[in-house]
Structures are given as structure tokens and as C-alpha cells.
Amino acid sequence: MSAHSLFGGSARLASPRGRGLRVTATAVLLLIGIAFVLPLAWLVLASLDDAATLSVRLPRVWTADNFTEILTPEQTFRPLWNSFVISLGTAVLTIVVSLLAAYPLSRYSIRFNKGLMYTVLFGTCLPVTAMMVPVYSLFVSFKLLDSLAGTIVFMASTSLPMAIWMMKNFMDSVPVSLEEASWVDGASSMTALWRVVVPLMRPGIAVVFIFVFTGAWGNFFVPFILLFSSENQPAAVAIYNFFGLNGAIAYGKLAAFSILYSLPAVLLYVITQMRSGNSFAMAGAVKG
């Protein structure tokens, strides 16, 4: 009699401490779930409370005044627009440059290919805070302080090491034979890249885009150092305005602004997931 039949058709791992392990795992997961749910519950409840505090509690008077009071160009719309411009510009620039950099690393056998990839990987470990002093001096020299374009270029350059590493691995999964077929038809390397490789690795590009966009969207330190005028500050820095002097914090407005600030990133995840599918769809691309 096989082990499969002994367990009534469903094979399971036998462990004398299986029940204790399940209880422990459930308790740990429950604690992790509470750690995630409590801040979200505070955001929602505090945004609808006219006398919100740091405590998680039901509002005594449910109101939408916190939202209506912050929906002004100075407090919400302009910072969100600046965040959108910085994040989109950083993501698009990073995608284009990382695609061009990953292509030769993926397709050609270069003598220092492995060393170069390890150097790129090392670049992902460098903390941005460690290089801000020379970067600030460079921005002063080139008169790029308080410039959205300069900030976009710097944030894209800091995102490039990880983006190149991810893009190269995604590009390795695209069969080279597809490009060779296009070369036979007279296509150049760049034509094969844009018309054959890029369409097939759209899910991978979407992953890199989300990674870079959300990183730029939530970046506080770099815009805080390089952008000092209120007209150019993104939402990540503008949220600091709700922290007043002497510990006075407008909790209700802060929660309402935080919800509005989170919505674009959540929508990006949903839209990208709907349009990209769940995996690469290259099955059957190569035949024979």
C-alpha cells in the first residue's frame, strides 16, 4: 500500500510538532497583519475625524472637512503634480537608458562582462545620502538647484544600477533567434531591439517602471535637499508642512493628504497589472 493511499489520496508531511508550528505561524502572521492594518485603519478613520489624534478610534463626528480643506492648489494639487512630473520623468529616462545599457550586456560576450555586472550590482548598494554633499556642490556649480529637470536626471542616475541589473535579466529570457530572424530580413540591431525585444519584455519593463516610479514618488530626501521653493516641492516634501511647530500636528489633514498621496501609486499597480498580464507570453515564439 502506497503512502498516497494511506493518507486517503492526499500526501502530507508527518511532523509530531505540526500543530504547534501551525499555531506559531498563524500567530506570527496575525501580528504582521495587525502591524499593517493598524496604520491603514488610522489613516482612514483620522481623515474622517474633525478632532483626530494619534490614537486609532472611531470619529465622534464623521466629516469630510479634512479633505475639502486641503483640496487647494497650494496644499495638494501642485505638490501632487510635481511628484507626478518627477516620478514619470525619472521612470521614463531610467527605462530608456537601462534598455540601451542592458542590450549589449545581454547579447554580446564582452571580456569584462561579469566584472561590469558586479560593478553595477555594487552601485545598487551605495546610499544616496552618502553622496549628497558632492552632488549638492555639483548642482550649485551648474546652477541646477531648485530645478525639476536636474532633480529628475539625478534621481534617474541613482535608479540606473538596479534598473540595468533587472532589465538585463529580463532581456536574457528573450530568445536571440527572434532577433536573428529579423536580421535576416534586413533589420538593424536597434530595429530588432525596439520592434522585437521590447514588445516581448513589456511585463519586465512594467516591473522596472513601477519600481522606479514608486521609488521616486516616495523619495523625500533628494527633493528636500535639491528643491527648496514651494512651487517645485513634490508631495513627499509637502507632507512635511502638516507638522507644525512645538509638536502641533494637524492629524486629520495629514491623514487625508496621505490617502490622496497614496492613490496614484495604487492606481499604477492596478493599471499595470491589468495591461501587462501575469507573466511573459513568449511560449510558441520560437518554432522548430
Task: Tell me which CATH code domain 70-277 carries.
Answer: 1.10.3720.10
Q: Say if residue 256's pLDDT is above 80.
A: yes
Taking alpha carbons only, the member of 168, 171, 172, 189 closest to residue 180 is 189
CA 281-269-285 angle, to 5 degrees, is 5
C-alpha cell, 71: 483640496
pTM exceeding 0.95: no
C-alpha cell, 234: 513634490
- Residue 26's alpha-carbon distances to 18, 19, 32, 45, 59, in angstroms, are 12, 10, 10, 27, 31
- Each residue's pLDDT tens digit, 44-96: 999 998 888 888 888 888 889 999 998 989 888 999 999 999 999 999 999 99
Q: Say if residue 11's pLDDT is above 80.
A: no
Can you tell me the distance from the alpha carbon of 174 to that of 77, in angstroms, rounded to the nearest whole number? Answer: 41
The answer for residues whose C-beta is within 8 angstroms of residue 217's C-beta and 6 or more apart is 83, 87, 236, 264, 265
Query: Do residues 282 and 204 make contact, with C-beta atoms less than 8 angstroms apart?
Result: no
Tracing cell 501632487 back to the chain, one arrives at: 80
Q: What secondary structure letter does DSSP report for 285?
A: S
Tracing cell 496644499 back to the chain, one arrives at: 75
pLDDT of residue 288: 46
Sign for the CA dihedral angle at 87, 93, 94, 96 comes to positive
- Each residue's pLDDT tens digit, 29-55: 999 999 989 989 998 999 998 888 888
For residues 262-266, average pLDDT: 87
Nearest-10 crossing angle of helices 148-172, 132-141: 130
- Residue 165's alpha-carbon distances to 149, 170, 196, in angstroms, are 25, 9, 20
The ranges of the chain annotated as CATH 1.10.3720.10 are 70-277
Can you tell me the distance from the alpha carbon of 21 to that of 15, in angstroms, rounded to the nearest whole number? Answer: 9
The one-letter code for the residue type at 287 is: K
Can you tell me the distance from the alpha carbon of 255 to that of 40, in angstroms, rounded to the nearest whole number? Answer: 10
Can you tell me the distance from the alpha carbon of 52 to that of 66, in angstroms, rounded to the nearest whole number? Answer: 10
Q: How many CB atoms lie under 10 A from the CB of residue 286?
A: 11
pLDDT of residue 91: 95
pLDDT of residue 12: 53
Tracing cell 536636474 back to the chain, one arrives at: 150
